[in-house]
Copies of this chain bind each other. A is one copy, B any other.
Amino acid sequence: MRAALMYGAGDVRVEDRPDPRIVRPGDAVVRVGAACVCGSDLWPYGSMPATDTGRPMGHEFLGVVEETGADVSGLKPGDLVVAPFTYSDNTCDRCARGLHIACRNGGRYGFDGVDGGQGEAMRVPLADGTLVKLPVAADSALIPSLLALSDVMTTGHHGAVTAGVGRGDTVLVVGDGVVGLCAVIAARRRGAERIVLAGRHASRTTLGRHFGATDVVAERGAEGVARIRELTGGVDKVIEAVGTGRALDLALGAVRDGGTVSRLGVPQYEQGPIGPAVFMRNITLTGGASPARAYIEELLPDVLDGTIAPGRVFDRTYTLDHVPEAYRAMADRRVLKALVCP
């Protein structure tokens, strides 16, 4: 089969690989119908040391089950399934608490002999715990939005859940990347009354308004804080979908006393400002790596009936052979989110 591998920064190649096969009795082999390039794929694309072997890429995909191991009972060949961006058993104590990202038996695609999603087919470990069946045809118009459940939509939802966004809240979403835009969808879905989107890219903030943002603030730093406070008097909840210290400062400056800041962007800092000022203001800092698997069933009906349409974040489709071009386009910010159809 053909699959995308990264050999170092800026060096993605599509090559022939052995066809995946069942290795353990809990495995399934899935023929990939659609996959993505993720914002987080751009980190190694920017910095990975050169290697001779290459790393299989991609952790967001959906497809059709081709074969199942002896222990797989919930899936059969022909099922259309979506995968969360890590695999997990869905039964350990952490999964039972909805913390599938930290599953005691789980892992990441592209590591430990597991393929990546940017390829023609995949061996998926712990298939019963990982894959979620989709009640649509493989050519459904809903495919992009269903694929978004593998990561970006469930991640935006994680921000809204951990921030405790509820009916009537005023919410700030920091960042107009794909996760920020999905956080707007999630905040709206949970009943937020006012959603301020902090971002500077007109095409993205326009989509954010379509998703439910009521205000857009392009200013940064103290100017951004002042503008958001002028608009809202201080927001109840913040979903911080960037990860820089500057984004956190904006969040802490804009949130009201007693409010909550949920982080979805992996921090690019080791130490942060959690001293007496934040303490006296009773600000809660929450969020973290999304346990995507925990949320797929909850969000699925809303995608199926069109209540939410996160698939609108995909603005360009590539065939597998053009994946290297998709990386370049996303790294250059010419494309927001690339859909890959093998």
A residues lining the B interface (CB < 8 Å): 94, 97-99, 101-102, 162, 257-258, 263, 266-267, 269-276, 278-289, 291
How far, in angstroms, from A273 to B289 measured CA to CA in the complex? 16
Number of identical monomers bound together in the oligomeric complex: 2
Contact A281 B271 (CB under 8 A): no
5 tightest A-B CB contacts, nearest first: A282-B288, A270-B275, A284-B286, A271-B271, A272-B274
**What are 11 inter-chain pairs, A to B, with CB distance below 8 A?**
A94-B257, A101-B280, A162-B284, A271-B271, A274-B274, A278-B288, A280-B289, A282-B291, A284-B286, A285-B285, A286-B286
Given known pairs A97-B258, A99-B257, A258-B102, the reply for A276 and B284 (CB within 8 Å) is no
How far, in angstroms, from A271 to B287 measured CA to CA in the complex? 19
A336 shortest CB reach to chain B, Å: 24
Q: A94-B258, A266-B280, A270-B275 are in contact. List 16 more A-B contacts (CB 8 A).
A: A98-B258, A99-B257, A102-B258, A102-B281, A102-B282, A162-B282, A263-B279, A270-B276, A271-B271, A274-B274, A279-B287, A279-B288, A279-B289, A280-B288, A282-B289, A282-B291
Report B-chain residues with C-beta under 8 Å of the C-beta of A276: 266-267, 270
A249 shortest CB reach to chain B, Å: 12
A280: nearest chain-B partner, CB-CB: B289
Report B-chain residues with C-beta under 8 Å of the C-beta of A98: 258
Contact B279 A267 (CB under 8 A): yes
How far, in angstroms, from A278 to B243 measured CA to CA in the complex? 13
Q: Quick one: which of B258, B274, B280 contacts A285, CB cutoff 8 A?
A: B274
Contact B258 A267 (CB under 8 A): no
A285: nearest chain-B partner, CB-CB: B285
Report B-chain residues with C-beta under 8 Å of the C-beta of A272: 271-272, 274-275
Report B-chain residues with C-beta under 8 Å of the C-beta of A287: 279, 282
Report B-chain residues with C-beta under 8 Å of the C-beta of A275: 267, 269-272
Report B-chain residues with C-beta under 8 Å of the C-beta of A283: 288
A300 shortest CB reach to chain B, Å: 22
How far, in angstroms, from A278 to B289 measured CA to CA in the complex? 10
A229 shortest CB reach to chain B, Å: 14
A172 shortest CB reach to chain B, Å: 17
A258: nearest chain-B partner, CB-CB: B99
How far, in angstroms, from A281 to B99 measured CA to CA in the complex? 9
A303 shortest CB reach to chain B, Å: 24
A127 shortest CB reach to chain B, Å: 24
